Structure formats: C-alpha cells, structure tokens
Chain A
Amino acid sequence: DAGVIQSPRHEVTEMGQEVTLRCKPISGHDYLFWYRQTMMRGLELLIYFNNNVPIDDSGMPEDRFSAKMPNASFSTLKIQPSEPRDSAVYFCASSFLSSGSEAFFGQGTRLTVV
C-alpha cells in the first residue's frame, strides 16, 4: 500500500475562494482523521470518521469548514470561503481497529490563503 495519500501537496489561494483538500486512506482502515497543524495551536483534530460516518466534528472551527467521506477510499475537507487564518498544514490520517492503534499520516497539504 502506498500509505495515506493527500492532494494537493501545496495550495495557494486567495481569500474568499473555496478550497478542497483530498485524502485517500490506507485500504482496509476503518478510521479517518483530519488534523490541522499550526505553530500556535499544534496538531488539532478537526473531525474523524468511522466506516465513512462522521463521529466527532467538534474540532471543526467554523461552518466554513465541512468534511465528507462518500466511500471507504476517499474523503474531502472543504473550506468555503477561505480566510488567511486558515493557512496551515492539513493532515489526513487513517487507522484500523477501535482499541487504540497507530494513526498513519499522509504527507499533508500546506495551505496558504493570501
């Protein structure tokens, strides 16, 4: 398996534009997580899915953020409209089993909103 795959690796967009980040988890994993990393706030959990169902979105900062997982091999995180304070590295991670196990991270998407 190629691991967790995220696209794009880098995204530069203008304030007000819609941004869509994409993630392909490791095949067979039943949990998928979206994290945001900034210098000020560290690694924040935004939302996670179990078997494609959103379980906890309490970390999603605002209604401008939304996430979907239409099937077991694909998830998106959308920001609409984007703002400069959304600039961060967004990581997708996946894991298997529900009793505590390794989370495998993608390479991240570095988002810059100007």
Chain B
Amino acid sequence: GENVEQHPSTLSVQEGDSAVIKCTYSDSASNYFPWYKQELGKRPQLIIDIRSNVGEKKDQRIAVTLNKTAKHFSLHITETQPEDSAVYFCAVPSGGYNKLIFGAGTRLAVHP
C-alpha cells in the first residue's frame, strides 16, 4: 500500500517568516496531492491540492509544489500569521483514487 512520510513533525516560525512542509510518497501512480489544515479541536479541511499534470499551484499565501520524479510534494506558506498555527496534513490516494492516506501531520506554531 501507499507509504506517506511527512516532515518536519513540528515547526516553529516567527510571524512573517515562511514555512515549508514536505511529504514523500511511494506509489508512482498517485496523481492527486492535497493538503489539509486542522485547527485545535476542529475538523481537517482542505486548503490546497495539486494534480500530477502541474508542478506548482498557488493560492494567495500558500502554494504546493510537486516533484513526481522524486515522489515528493511540499506546502509553502509565506508571510505567516498567528492564525496559520495549526496541524497540517498531506494526503495521497492509495489503491482506489479516493482512499486518502494521510501523513503524520506537522504542528506549525507561528509566534507574534
């Protein structure tokens, strides 16, 4: 089955700095790569996703880059703000496309 590794497990940055979280996967057939954000006590929610036919996608301060050859994709958050503090999960489909396997999560803390 799919093996998903996410790094780092925790990340602490100053407000205004950038944050990068990386995810590696094992199934070269995977073609959909979402990132979810989970605030404390809340549900995971999709913040950005990318499909394998593009290498990068941006949405305001967040972006995702994909390297299919190396089988990894990354979440980039620029100009971080305290409200970006949360746990971020990458996910990769395994087997059937809709069977999402989640990474272990990265706890991001943005300090004012």
Contact = CB atoms under 8 A, between A and B. Distances in A.
A100 B59 CA distance: 19
A42 B87 CA distance: 11
Given A42-B102, A105-B44, A107-B42, 8 more contacts: A42-B89, A50-B96, A97-B98, A98-B98, A99-B32, A100-B98, A103-B100, A106-B43
Interface of B: 31-32, 34, 42-46, 49, 51, 89, 91, 93, 95-105
B43 A107 contact: yes
A33 B105 CA distance: 19
B44 A91 contact: yes
Contacts of B102: 35, 42-43, 45
A99 B97 contact: yes
A38 B51 CA distance: 29
Contacts, number: 57
Contact of A102 (B34, B43, B93, B96): B34
Contact of A56 (B32, B43, B95): B95
B96 A98 contact: yes
Contacts of A100: 31-32, 51, 93, 97-98
A55 interface: yes
Q: A35, A43, A45, A56 — which one has the most chain B CB atoms within 10 A of its CB? A: A43
B98 A50 contact: yes
A56 B44 contact: no
Nearest to B104: A42
